[in-house]
Amino acid sequence: MGTVTIAATFGAGGSIIGPAVAKRLNLPFVDRAIPAALAAKLHEPLAAALADDTERGTAVGRLLRSALNHSGLFAGIPVPDEERGVLPDIAMSETAIRRLADGGGAVILGRAGVFVLKDRPDVLHVRLDGSVEARRHAAMSHEGLDYKSVARKQNESDQARRAYVAHFYPRAGAWEDPRHYHLVLDSTVISTDTCVELITRAAKDVFANSTAAHTAPAG
């Protein structure tokens, strides 16, 4: 069938919209949590933080900022810049994502899927975003938190995700650059149902066009 990658900032509703799109397309949903097999191979503090970058934003940001002060992923273990995007643990995650895409597809939230599956004709890349204030208020509604707590989580989460992409995919460009995506939606203004409908329809178009191109007779 095909794959949808969704990059969502904090409060943009990725964890709500993603599963709904997967259900509409009858595809498995893969969230941003790092697989257990991969987490087990990572240095424990970093693995624990990256395993849930929404809830553990503080730890992610602190650990990645520390790592970025060195030349490698882990403090004290130098890795040349040219190898940062092909570290064994990241390669494992990329392999898992590509296998999902090759095996019938999935809806993938986070994991830098937009960069891992770049230029594949059977993949729709989506970004969910909104103004900082709108995302904070949306998160207050969804999570039942006060404004101060939500503002802290938003800053930490956005910073951590940006740092993750910059560290592991230094040549990819800015995570928020709209040129990486086929569809960019302000999910704080457009309703969840409409976002799901737009993504689903766009995905079906991409999948159909990819299939038609693949099956078209040569010449």
- Confidence check: pLDDT of 84 > 80: no
Domain that holds residue 175: 3-215
The CATH number that applies at residue 173 is 3.40.50.300
Instruction: Please indicate whether residue 147 or residue 175 has the higher confidence score (pLDDT).
Output: 147
- Confidence check: pLDDT of 73 > 80: no
In sequence order, what are the beta bridge partners of 127? Answer: 7, 184
Instruction: Please indicate whether residue 35 or residue 23 has the higher confidence score (pLDDT).
Output: 23
Task: Label residue 204 exposed, middle or buried (CB < 10 Å: 0-12, 13-18, 19+).
Answer: middle
What's the rounded mean pLDDT across residues 207-211? 89
pLDDT, tens digit, 9 for 90 and up, residues 39-52 = 344 334 444 444 55
User: Structurally, how many domains does the chain consist of?
Assistant: 1
Q: Report the distance separating Cα 28 and Cα 41, nearest Å.
A: 25
Q: At what angle do helices 57-68 and 147-168 cross, to 10 degrees?
A: 40
